[in-house]
Amino acid sequence: MKIYSKKDLSENELSLTFDDISLVPMRISEIKSRVEANTKSKFLGFDLSLPVLSSPMDSVTGIVMAKELNKLGCLGIVNRFDASLKEIISDNSSFEGVKSVSIALNSQEELVSLLAEKKLILCIDTANANNKTVLERCEEIKKKYEVKIILGNIAHGATLKDMVNAGADAIRIGIGGGSVCTTSIQTGIGIGQVSSLLDVYFTREKYGLNIELIADGGVKSPGDIAKAIALGADAVMLGRMLAGTKETPGEVIKYNDQLWKKYRGSASFGVKMRNEFIEGEETMVSYKGAVKNVIDGISDGLRSSMSYMNCKTLDELRATETFVILSNSSYLERLPKK
């Protein structure tokens, strides 16, 4: 069996995703309990207790979710479809406790100006950051305002320099990996999340670029979050893992004696409601209760992973160079049996 470094994984002839790899502890751990593992980190100048960002999807992050996640030491990015983004023009108090929002390419300049004045992180929410219009808009905003900007999404590091030159402070990595994203099926675009993340990571290292990396898509469990960070991600963006919680927008629906909430992609028909090309699906997810329970579970899983790997800090976890590639049977062996 071969033990792979990050570089080995990045040079693999196949495109890899989280289910294809596993972390391998190869040192005696000095951590007695997972509570000794410290998951604190800085992201775009903010102190986080956990490097978790919520996806700016209309079925995941509204004002309520963003405020609650911020209280929990994470970062909630309010979706650009939220009516509260318009209300802020006349009532700034409604945004107290919010640190980040997403905007469209054609968002009103008055809104962008007010958000920038409040020193909120702006996420230019597009499916494809490899676009001249996206880069021009990012550059335009950075010239006018002192504000941090998240761009996305990209699947490869080939254009990372262009993102930095346009003023991007962080980049969302991953195309087609979201659970309700059909981009890869509809367009044939995208590679595995592990390969995407590593390619961008090594591009940043090679050219010494000042930009933070967000693993966005394909994350199904706390273990995937640990893998993403070990592969070099500064933060991990979640959609489905947070969907269905009390704080997500939308009502709780009772069906077949079970509770559900709606979950849909940002390019789904339900969001667009126009005759446009659709690259997202809609579904229902089981109601999960308070998002705090989900975040606590993520924190416990990440800390446990760090204790196995003898990593007391996230920076130590990011220095991990011991991975294996799993056969399909190896992956299936690890799934709980009913």
pLDDT tens string 167-187: 999 999 998 765 566 666 677
Apex CA 126: angle with CA 6 and CA 275, to 5°? 135
Q: Rounding to the nearest 10 degrees, give the CA dihedral for residues 135, 199, 228, 53.
A: 0
Residue bearing the bigger pLDDT, 133 or 80: 133
Under DSSP, is residue 170 helix (H, G, I), strand (E, B) or coil?
strand
Residues 6+ apart with CB under 8 A from 262: 59, 250, 253, 270, 282, 283, 284
Going edge to edge, which strands form the sheet with 282-286? 253-255, 258-264, 282-286
Which CATH fold would you assign to the domain 6-332?
A: TIM Barrel (3.20.20)
Asked if the model's pLDDT at residue 241 lies above 60, the reply is yes
Asked if the model's pLDDT at residue 195 lies above 90, the reply is yes
Per the CB < 8 A criterion, the answer to whether 78 and 100 are in contact is yes
For the chain, give the number of residues. 338
Asked if the model's pLDDT at residue 79 lies above 80, the reply is yes
Report the relative pairing of strands 235-238 and 258-264 from DSSP bridges.
unpaired
Cα R_g (the chain), whole angstroms: 19
Asked if the model's pLDDT at residue 272 lies above 50, the reply is no
Give mean pLDDT, residues 61-83.
Answer: 92
Report the relative pairing of strands 121-124 and 100-103 from DSSP bridges.
parallel
Per the CB < 8 A criterion, the answer to whether 279 and 296 are in contact is no
Residue bearing the bigger pLDDT, 267 or 174: 174
Per the CB < 8 A criterion, the answer to whether 66 and 77 are in contact is yes
Nearest to 48 by CA among 247, 244, 221, 295: 295
Per the CB < 8 A criterion, the answer to whether 86 and 98 are in contact is no
E strands of 80-193, at which residues? 100-103, 121-124, 149-154, 170-173
Per the CB < 8 A criterion, the answer to whether 185 and 160 are in contact is no
Query: Of the ranges 125-129, 181-185, 193-197, which one carries the lowest mean pLDDT score?
Result: 181-185
SS3 content of the chain, % helix, strand, coil (to 5): 35, 20, 45
Query: Of the ranges 79-93, 102-116, 244-258, which one carries the lowest mean pLDDT score?
Result: 79-93
Asked if the model's pLDDT at residue 270 lies above 50, the reply is no
Predicted pLDDT of residue 190: 76
User: How does residue 122 score in pLDDT terms, banded at 50, 70 and 90?
Assistant: very high
Predicted pLDDT of residue 96: 79
DSSP symbol at 38: B
Asked if the model's pLDDT at residue 324 lies above 90, the reply is yes
Residue bearing the bigger pLDDT, 239 or 97: 239
Number of H-type helices and E-type strands within the chain? 13, 15
Domains in the chain: boundaries? 6-332
Asked if the model's pLDDT at residue 262 lies above 60, the reply is yes
Per the CB < 8 A criterion, the answer to whether 4 and 325 are in contact is yes
